Amino acid sequence: MQNGAVTPYMNVYIDSAVFQIFQIITVLAFSPLIAGFINKIEEIIQGKRGPSILQPYYDLYKLFHKEIIISEDSSFVFRFAPFVSFVSMILITMLIPVLTAYPLPLGFMGDMLGGAFLFSLSSFFINIASLDKGTSYGGLGSSRATVLAILSEPTLILVFVGVALIAKSTLPYVMLNTIISHLPLYFSSSHFLIITAFFLLFLADTDRRPINASTHVEMSMIEEARILDYSGPYLALLKWSGYMKQFLLLVIFLNVLVFPWGLAVNHSPLSLFIAVITLIFKMFIVGIIAALIDTSISRLRFFRYQEYFAAAFVLSVLAIMTFQYKGF
């Protein structure tokens, strides 16, 4: 910079920072919409009218205007957990390609393993917060969530290993550009096996499969048991974090693995607008597929959930073996 002039490099950096902020705003604004859309489709498939697709926004507005009730026996962990979960989702937004095919200023701050760590950090704080009050439901939900995490995380690690073998990197931006530039990798059997394994994990993490974890029925309740003691804005932050988690998992699934096209390739407003529309359209399609699967196949009994994760684990192992055998 000379004589107060802004260099072209500074212009590019400012534009990238603006895109970074807009990417976060996109996740915050549209994540409840995707959740409402999937819920609406499920109700329609079941022959019901169902709530509006904007119902998650109404719920958040209502919760933010309610009173916070906290037990005197609660520690700082109970108060911090909603904020840790919410901030973790925002940090993940900075690491993955939500709207752009090129890395933004904070895109190299962490790879896919770093994103998985942030997902786990959010779940960990919610678990210990549910244990903080010493209620029976809190212990029930946290223990069940931990067991499911133990079963799902090995598969997630193997999926990342498969991604690293294909792209020679665990950075999501490298993965999507590798697929775009090498179509034989996209149509390889190992890539499709990775997609299937990750989709099974997505269904489990968003409570589409294998058991009904978001119910209030004690037989299988998990998520509701963990946040049962929260109210008001704290509960709103946890609900919003759940919507963002579903949105971000869809972003990874779509923009990194399944269809890494349609992302912005420059800093033009038109390219950004097309990226937003394309992303929402892709999510609507996957949302319809997820709703069809969730409503057309019966849920498993709670003690049979290991069979579901075993299938995902086998698929991820086969993906790695196939890649090593064929060489691509």
Question: Could you report the per-residue pLDDT of 129-158, keeping only the tens digit for each?
Answer: 888 877 777 788 888 888 888 888 888 888
* C-alpha span between 19 and 103 (Å, rounded): 10
Omega before residue 154 within 30° of 0, cis: no
pLDDT band, residue 1 (cuts 50/70/90): very low
State the CB neighbour count (10 A cutoff) for residue 146. Answer: 14
Which tokens belong to 145? 């969530």
Helix ranges (H only) for the chain are: 8-45, 55-64, 76-95, 112-132, 136-167, 172-181, 183-186, 189-205, 223-226, 232-251, 269-296, 305-326
pTM score: 0.89
Burial of 180 (0-12, 13-18, 19+ CB in 10 A): middle
Question: Could you report the per-residue pLDDT of 271-295, keeping only the tens digit for each?
Answer: 889 999 999 999 999 999 988 888 8
